[in-house]
Amino acid sequence: MVRLIAFLVGLFFSGWLIVSLVMGGVAFVSEPPAETAEHAFLKHPKQVNWSHDGVFGRFDRAQLQRGFQVYKEVCSACHSLNQVAFRDLEALGYNEDEVKAIAKNWAIQAPSIDPNTGEAATRAPLPADKFPLPFANNVAAAAANNNAIPPDLSLMTKARHDGTNYVYSLLTGYSAPSKELAKRFPDSMPGKGLHHNPYFANLNLAMAPPLTGDGQVTYADGTKSTVDQMAKDVAAFLTWTAEPKLENRKSSGLAVLGFLLIATILAYMSYRSIWAEKKKH
């Protein structure tokens, strides 16, 4: 009885799947699905070698500081960094006083209350504060940015496939849409206030190219600030904001794997020695 019911259930599911397959196959052949503009024109991120890649990867402190400078002078006008506190910047090699100065001189004030009246007020940020938000709320952010809300950047490199390369590719990827795109997918041409970028999911980005030309930022360490260099530096900086414990993770990982390797070899040897008698006869 069990086998009879099972047979009928199996026949029903498998049979209907085959019927669906045939019907779907006919539909697929008679009207093949149209190719989308994203499928035809979206590019995979450009592959860059980063100092933090690989098992022994370490952040390049000088690069992180340059990337922070790009964030501060270019990105921070619109993009928040709400998971990161000023005190975290000590990991980039700044000392306590430098961090205090960075916080105190930050262009955006931190929300506060007036100690006398209790009314809303602002004050200069302290090292313990998270980076203050550039907009009061999403409505204000959308209103100031052509109806698109600039996303928070704290986790951006983990929130996209191949995130570090993605940020670099996006920042350097703005280009004029090709004639082929205009011919085949006129709907995917950038509309008013949008900018074509083959690395962005739907090819059209509300953000205008933020890195406008060489020398936009004057690096303190004298590195030449080409667009390519600035894009790389800020992508590295955002990798640090997304994964500040990356170095701890990799160095403890090496210790853990080393320990486990020795333990596993010893476990294997004791297994062989305990079983030696039983395997022989």
Partner 1 sequence: MSFPWAQEYTPQNPLMKWLDQRLPLPRFVYNAVGAGYPVPRNLNYFWNFGVLSGFALMIQLITGIVLAMHYAPEATVAFNSVEHIMRDVNGGWMLRYAHANGASFFFVVVYIHIFRGLFFSSYKAPREMIWLLGIVIFLLMMATAFMGYVLPWGQMSFWGAKVITGLFSAIPVIGEPIQTLLLGGFSPDNAALNRFFSLHYLLPFVILGCVVLHVWALHIPGSSNPTGVDVKTESDTVPFHPYYTAKDGFGLGVFLLIYCAFVFFMPNALGHPDNYIPANPLSTPAHIVPEWYFWPFYAILRAFTFDFFFIPAKLLGVLAMFASILLLFFLPWLDTSPVRSGLYRPLFRKFFWYGLIPCVLVLGYCGGAPAAEPYVMISQIASAYYFAHFLIILPIISAIERPEPLPGSITEAVLGSAAPAAGASTGTASLQPAE
263 lies in the binding site for partner 1 (CB under 8 A): yes
Question: Considering only CA atoms, which of 193, 198, 196, 207 is closest in space to residue 166?
Answer: 198
What is residue 54's DSSP assignment?
S
Query: Which listed range, 8-16, 73-81, 177-185, 229-237, lies at the site for partner 1 (CB under 8 A)?
Result: 8-16
Query: Which listed range, 25-33, 177-185, 206-214, 222-230, lies at the site for partner 1 (CB under 8 A)?
Result: 25-33
28 lies in the binding site for partner 1 (CB under 8 A): yes
Burial class of residue 102 in the structure, from the number of CB atoms within 10 Å of its CB (0-12 exposed, 13-18 middle, 19+ buried): middle
Q: For residues 69 and 241, which CB has a smaller minimum distance to partner 1 in the complex?
A: 241
9 lies in the binding site for partner 1 (CB under 8 A): yes
Longest C-alpha distance within the chain, in Å?
90
43 lies in the binding site for partner 1 (CB under 8 A): no
What is residue 109's DSSP assignment?
P
Query: Which listed range, 64-72, 158-166, 206-214, 228-236, lies at the site for partner 1 (CB under 8 A)?
Result: 158-166
**Is the CB of residue 46 less than 8 Å from the CB of residue 169?**
yes
Token couple for 154: 């704290």
Residue partners of 80: CB distance under 8 A and separation at least 6: 131, 133, 134, 135, 150, 152, 153, 154
Residues 227-256, one symbol each (x = binds partner 1 by CB under 8 A, - = not), give: ---------------x-xx--xxx-xxx-x
DSSP letters of 132-172? Answer: PPSSSSHHHHHHHTTT-PPPP-TTTTTSSTTHHHHHHHHHH
**How many Cβ atoms from other residues are within 10 Å of residue 143's Cβ?**
12
Say how far residue 85 (Cα) sits from the centre of its chain.
18
Residues 81-120, one symbol each (x = binds partner 1 by CB under 8 A, - = not), give: --x----x--------------------------------
Q: Which residues pair with 121 in a beta bridge?
A: 112
**Is the CB of residue 246 less than 8 Å from the CB of residue 52?**
yes
CB of 187 to partner 1, least distance (A): 17
Residues 123-152, one symbol each (x = binds partner 1 by CB under 8 A, - = not), give: ----------------------------x-
56 lies in the binding site for partner 1 (CB under 8 A): no
Query: Which listed range, 105-113, 155-163, 216-224, 229-237, lies at the site for partner 1 (CB under 8 A)?
Result: 155-163
Residues 193-232, one symbol each (x = binds partner 1 by CB under 8 A, - = not), give: --------x-------------------------------
Q: Which residues are near partner 1 by CB under 8 A?
A: 2-3, 6-7, 9-11, 13-21, 23-25, 28, 33, 55, 83, 88, 151, 154-155, 158-161, 163, 201, 242, 244-245, 248-250, 252-254, 256-257, 260-261, 263-264, 267-268, 270-271, 274-275, 278, 281
